[in-house]
Structure 1
C-alpha cells in the first residue's frame, strides 16, 4: 500500500508531466501557426537601382504588415536600370521601382519589352552639381561638364543646362534632345557623356556634372547640394515623362497583390519619407 509520501510524489510527477505537456502543446501550436502564416504569405521581389529609396520601401513593408496583407517584399538592387529591366523581363523580378516613363518607353522601343506602369511614385530631380563652383555664372569656357549617356537622361540634362543658361537648345520642348539640338553654347563649356552612376565620382576632375538623384543620395550627398536645380512643377505636363513609376510585366498588371503594394506606397508615411530624404512630392497613378 502506497504511503502518503509516495502518493504525493506521484501527484507531483503527474503535475510536472502535465506542465511539460502544456508547454509542448503551446510550442507546437505557435510553430503550426507560424507555418500556416508563412504558407499564406506571398513574396514579391522588387527591383531597385541603388539604395536611395530603402527607407521608403521599409515604410511600404510596415504598412503591408499593419494591414496583415501577408505580403513579404524582397529587394534586389542593381547598379544600372538596364539590368533591372532584363531581370523583370526574365521574371527574376516581380516589379521594379526605379525608372520614369521616358526611360521605360525607350527600353520598350529598343528591346521590345512588354511592361506596364502600375503606379507612379515621384519625380527624381536631375540637378547640376559642382565641387569647383558655387554659382552657375562661375563656369568658364573649356570647363568640362559630365551628363548621362543614356538617351532619355541625356536629353533631360541638356534641358537643365538650357534652363541654367549655360547652353541654348533649338527647341527646349523637344522630348529627347541630343547634342545636335544645341543652338548655341554661350558659356563655352565642354559637354561630355558618361555613365550616370560614375558622374558623382568624376566631380573632382570636372567643373560640374548632372546625374540622377539616387546616385547622389547613394554617395552620401543631398539634392540640396546642387548649385542649380530646375523647379519641379507636378502639374506641368512637360514633367510627365520624368515621373518615376512602379512597373510590372504586362501579363501581371492586374495583380491584386501588386495593387496592394502600390496602395501601401501611396500612404502618408512614404510621402513624409520622400520629403525628408529627397525633398520631393509623391505622385499617384
Structure 2
C-alpha cells in the first residue's frame, strides 16, 4: 500500500518531470543554434575582412602608418584622409598612438611606422643626437604654445622669492621653458638664443623663484600646489583649462625665426623621405581644410605652421 505522502508516481510528479526534460532539451537546442549562429558570424566577418584587404590591394591602395602621441590629433588626420579620398590618391592613413614620443621614434627607426607627427625640430634633433636615428623632417605642421600658468596669480609681477615654478624635464622643453621665464623677466639667461639652455645657463634670478623640473604632462596637476607651471597648451586644454588662462604667453608665431625649433613636423626615415606617397600626404595636410580644423577645433592648442 502506498503511503499518502509518497508522490513519486502521481500524475503531478510525472508532468513536472516531463516538463523539466522538455525545457532542458529546448535549452540545449537553443545553445546549439546560438553556437552555430556565432560560428557563421565569425566566418562571415573573416570573409568580409579578407575581401576588404583583397580589394584594397587589388585597387593599389597604399597604407601609410602615422605615429602620434595621444589621440588629440585624430580629427586632423581624419581631415587629411578626407582630402586624400577627394583626390582619389589611393592612400589610406592608419594612425598608431604612443604614450611617449621616445617610443614612437624608436618604432619609426625600427621600420614599424611610415611617418610620425608629434614632435618639433628641437625634440627630433635631441633624439637623433642621443640615439643616432636616421630620421628626417619632411614638412611643418603646427606650433603648440608653451606658456606660464598659475592657479594662484594673475600676473607675472605677483611672483615672489621662494615661489616654485614647474617646468618640463625633457631637454628641449626645459630650454624652451627657460626662454619663457627669461621673456617674462623672472630670470635672465646668459644667451637666450641658445637652442637648448639648461638651468646652468641662468645668469641671474631677480625674482627669486625656485625652478622645479617635472614631467610636462603632470605640471597642470601641480598648479594647485605650485605658484606656477610652464607646459604645452594641449595638456592645459586636456585638463579643462584655456590657453588664454596663461599669466604670461609667448606669441606662437610660426614665422618667428626664434620659434622655428618648436614648430611641429612630419618625420620620415631618411632613406624614404622622397617617397611620392609621403608627398601626397604632405600636400593633403597643407590645405585650407586642415588649417581650418586646427584653427577652429583645438581652442588655441595649435597654430598652423604652413601655407596653402
Instruction: Decide: shared fold, TM above 0.5.
Output: yes
CA distance in 1, matches of 2:305, 2:195: 23
- In the alignment, the residues of structure 2 paired with residue 51 and residue 135 of structure 1 have an alpha-carbon distance, to the nearest angstrom, of 32
**Separation (CA, whole Å) in 2 of partners of 1:45 and 1:219:** 28
- Kindly indicate whether residue 304 of structure 2 is the aligned counterpart of residue 281 of structure 1: yes
Maintained 8 Å contact 1:148/1:157:
yes
The aligned residue for residue 134 of structure 1 is 154
- Kindly tell me the number of residue pairs found equivalent between the two proteins: 255
2:126 to 93, 106, 110: 106
RMSD over aligned CA atoms reads: 2.0
Calculate the TM-score normalised by the size of structure 2: 0.78
Moved more, 182-191 or 211-220: 211-220
2:216 counterpart residue number: 196
The aligned residue for residue 171 of structure 2 is: 151
1:183 aligned onto 2:203: yes
User: How far did residue 37 of structure 1 move?
Assistant: 4.0
Determine if the alignment matches structure 1 residue 241 to structure 2 residue 264.
no
Q: Which runs of 5+ in 2 are unaligned?
A: 1-49
**Aligned residue for 2:83?**
63
Q: Which residue, out of 126, 133, 143, partners 1:123?
A: 143
Q: Distance in 1 between matches of 2:182 and 2:274?
A: 40
More displaced stretch, 131-140 vs 80-89: 131-140
Distance 1:89 1:239 in 2: 26
* SS of aligned partner of 2:72: coil
Pick one of 200, 219, 228 that aligns with 1:208.
228
Partner residue, 1:5: none
Of 48, 51, 56 in structure 1, the residue corresponding to residue 71 of structure 2 is: 51
TM-score using structure 1 length: 0.84
- Change in Cα spacing, 1:196 to 1:68, as seen in structure 2 (3 Å) is same
Change (3 A) 1:105 1:138: same
Contact 1:79 1:197 in 2 (8 A): no
Provide, for residues 148-187 of structure 1, a one-character-per-residue CA deviation record: whole Å limited to 9, x for no partner: 1111110110000111111111211111111111111121
DSSP-derived class of the 1:166 partner: coil
1:235 Cα offset (Å): 2.7
If asked which structure has higher relative contact order (CA below 8 Å, sep 6+), I would say: 1
Q: Is the 8 A contact 1:169 1:183 kept in 2?
A: yes
- The answer to whether the 8 Å contact 1:50/1:215 transfers is no
Maintained 8 Å contact 2:144/2:252: no
- Residue by residue over 1:235-282, the C-alpha shift from the partner in whole angstroms, topping out at 9 and shown as x without a partner, is 322111111110011111111111111111100011112212153233
Deviation (angstroms), 1:43: 1.6
What is the distance in 1 between the residues matched to 2:98 and 2:192? Answer: 32
8 Å Cα contact 1:274-1:282 kept in structure 2: no
- d(CA) in 2 for partners of 1:114, 1:34: 31
Alpha-carbon distance change, 33 to 131 in structure 1, aligned in 2, over 3 angstroms: closer
Matched, 1:95 2:115: yes
CA distance in structure 2 between the aligned counterparts of 1:79 and 1:215, rounded to whole angstroms: 13
Structure 1: tracts of 5 or more residues without a match: 1-30
2:55 to 30, 36, 48: 36
- The 4+ residue runs of structure 1 with deviation greater than 6 A are 31-34
Does the 8 Å CA contact 1:52/1:215 hold for their aligned counterparts? no
